[in-house]
Structure 1
Amino acid sequence: MSTPPAAQRRPRRDAVENRADILAAATDLISRDPHASVDAIARSAGLTRRALYGHFDDRDALVHAVIAVGAQRFNAIADTIDDPDPRVALARLASLLWREASHVQVAASIALDEAHVHETADALAPVRRRVAEIVRAGQDDGSLRTDVAAPTLARLVEETARAVITRMDASSSEARSLAVRAVLSIAGLSWTESATLLGEHPDLVEEV
């Protein structure tokens, strides 16, 4: 009896798990060292170098996959941000990105590698567009600072979020709140205005 075509195409469970383990290991190691070796990644995943190459042709292919996975998560988050108040929208985006700290860290590390900087920028284009839209809306209604051009402010917000998330201990109970406040500060809110906003929207910094 022949094997049904659908079954032939379906990856074995252990193969799917191995690939997921490799991507998780690569995300973890590259977030700390953008030049982490294939051997180190394979060992961290509990696999041999040969097993890793069974899923990815070379290190570049693995890095491409890591970038793609992170970008999918970031862009999916950006798509959920629909708060009418630009201040809340920025705060929510920063808060949700905090949950993806490991992917933010790996994106930051990979972006330092000139071989992948353009790929990383292209993959994150949707989330960057969303930040720019939020900033423009905030400048138009006066809720965000207007002394800086919208494209520049959007980039400052992006860099602030990335810098804070990649440099703080994600296990800290205050870390998410500090990350959100940093983004709001660069966007033009005073610390008292940020405190008031977060008091009105406690869900933005609640631990999940």
Structure 2
Amino acid sequence: MSTPSPSRAPRRDAAENRESLLAAARLVFNHDPSASLEAVAAQAGLSRRSVYGHFANREELLLEIVTTGARRVATALESVTHPDPLVRLALIASNLWREVESVRVMALVAVRGPLAAHTAATLGAIRANVRAAIAEGQADGSMRTDLAVGRLARLVEDTALVVLEDSTEHPLGAQEGDRLAMLMTLAVVGLGWREAGTFIDGRPELAWPAATEPDIESDRETETVPE
């Protein structure tokens, strides 16, 4: 009786095709969340049949993108910490914006679409960090105490989504959005708008990096997406 041979690694071209499809899907779905698999295949320079060789249907492809994106965000934010809970909340807002601002439409699909519960579970550690920062801020008097921690945490999250959603409908550069995300977060937890601006300007760790990539709004002009 012959010994079963170990499963072979996927052929190199198959693996490359899968990556091409995922990259194309991120671009296409961020342009139009309702785009078809044909549009994704065309963007990747592959046939529709090639898509089905890797993903059973559109939902499976979307799940892969959302899961990968949520894990990337969770990994990027898991190390965000600061002894000042206000600074920590601002850093969370800033880092979250920087992670998703180039895929704003897909980010909203991930947290408000049919996969919202799946995304929420993946981002659980970030939400816990937000709640912990608010609890500390309420304890030291730097944040409002008229709302329970859980409710205030949900309002902070909703505010971040509002900034993201508004930026998909009205042009908002990467640096401008970064500052707005922090300002709105600090406002929700109790700071006035002038106070929030002064707070951000007085904290070097909240400053926009001196050397950055070209603004995403300019980059979008060079992207190729299906009509």
TM-score normalized with structure 1 length: 0.83
5+ long unaligned stretches in structure 2: 1-5, 213-227
On the 8 A contact 1:78/1:93 being kept in 2, the answer is yes
Task: Report how many aligned residue pairs link the two structures.
Answer: 202
Q: Aligned in 2, Cα 1:166/1:23: closer, same or farther, shift over 3 Å?
A: farther
Match in the other structure for 1:108 = 108
Q: Is the 8 A contact 1:23 1:66 kept in 2?
A: yes
1:18-37 alignment runs, 5 A limit: 18-37=17-36
Which ranges of structure 1 fall in alignment gaps of 5 or more residues? none
CA distance in structure 1 between the partners assigned to 2:207 and 2:23 by the alignment: 26
**Residue 187 of structure 1, aligned match among 168, 186, 189:** 189
Percent identity over the alignment is 39
- Residue deviations 1:122-157 (CA, integer Å, cap 9, x gap): 222222222112211211211111111110110111
- Compare 137-146 and 150-159 and name the one that shifted more: 137-146
**Does structure 2 conserve the Cα–Cα contact (< 8 Å) formed by 1:95 and 1:205?**
no
**2:179 counterpart letter in structure 1:** S
What does residue 40 of structure 2 align with? 41
The equivalent residue for 2:147 is: 148
Stretch of structure 1 that moved more, 185-194 or 40-49? 40-49
- 8 Å Cα contact 2:187/2:193 also seen in 1: yes
Q: Which has the larger radius of gyration?
A: 2
Of residues 135-144 and 39-48 in structure 1, the stretch that sits farther from structure 2 once superposed is 39-48
Distance in 1, Cα, partners of 2:162 & 2:31: 14
